Amino acid sequence: MKKIAFIFPGQGSQSAGMGKDLFDNNDSAKKVYETADKTLGKEISKICFDGPDEDLKQTINAQSAIVTTSIAALAAFKSKCDIKPALTMGHSLGEYCAMYCADVMDLETTIKAIQKRSELMDEATKTTKGTMAAVLGSSIENIKSSLEEVKDLGLAQIANYNDPTQVVITGEVEAINKACELIKEKGAKRVVPLAVSGGFHSELMNSAKDGFVEFVETLDLKDATIPVITNVDATLTTSAEDFRQKMPNQINSSVMWVQSIQNAIAEGVDTFIEFGNGKVLAGLNRKISSEIKTYNVYDMASLNAVVDELMVGV
């Protein structure tokens, strides 16, 4: 018997056309999009299906579009089979899908939370000048020492521990640009500036975090029915009050994806299902461990293939 975890991607996984096949061919997925449109007061479904990419990549649209598409894929999957995960997690933004999956929030609450989160983060980018870069093929020690060396130029932090070969750094523009130079000099395979509007998962998002603290107090959160491995500490979480504390902290803290997957494996998980557009997390997971298998559900063909394979012997 496989021990399965459900996982959900974050911002950057979006592309025009995502979810359209599920919307057209699965009533459960269609209802998710209809609920999101009604809750948001705008046609996020149309932005998902038709773009344009310029609209879809804006933080205030991207976050709700990705969450809606991932939850629609989950709903379609659940309409086809009753496989239950042992635990769940999501990468940054995707953590909200994981909390929904674990019954911490209902769909409307999840959509409202992610819209508020995206609005606050978007506001924060207008008062700070931040950027991000992906570092490939460098040791954590070299990255951390380089960030320490540029602290006089401004804020510089680790945003994401994505896989053993990829770390994302974040912070103020001058400091991150200099850190990129130093990291290259210390032998990094590649350093790739990211086309982002701000220094996400850094202290540049403190205003967004503070605003979200107040908002989260108004949300109806429940204890999780299955554990969620949370980004900020890579630990199994089930308490509603723990989620209430961690949700704002996630905005300006590192995403500990490598540690989260490693802890899921330590819990006995050997199979992951990624719900949502693209295969970003499947790619990261392959580099974290060659012993695990990650499936993807993003359209009807992938949905049917995963259900057919996993239902054997269940």
| 3-state secondary structure at position 190 | strand
* Sequence-ordered alpha helix ranges (H) in 57-205: 59-80, 95-101, 107-127, 140-149, 173-185
As a whole number of angstroms, the distance between CA 125 and CA 166 comes to 24
Sign of the four-CA dihedral 168, 282, 276, 49: positive
**What's the number of CA atoms in the CB half-sphere (13 Å) around residue 228?**
31
Check if the beta carbon of residue 137 is closer than 8 Å to that of residue 167.
Answer: no
Marked catalytic residue, from 64, 92, 253, 302: 92
Sign of the four-CA dihedral 228, 232, 233, 239: negative
Q: In what order do the strands lie in the sheet with 166-172?
A: 156-163, 166-172, 130-136, 190-193
**What's the number of CA atoms in the CB half-sphere (13 Å) around residue 115?**
15
Check if the beta carbon of residue 131 is closer than 8 Å to that of residue 173.
Answer: yes
Q: Which amino acid is at 204?
A: L
Marked catalytic residue, from 64, 201, 202, 260: 201
As a whole number of angstroms, the distance between CA 101 and CA 224 comes to 9
Q: Tokens for 302, please give them.
A: 């992938």
Check if the beta carbon of residue 229 is closer than 8 Å to that of residue 264.
Answer: yes
DSSP state letter for 172 = E
Q: Is 91 a catalytic residue?
A: no
Span between the terminal Cα atoms of the chain, in Å: 7
Residues tagged active-site? 92, 201
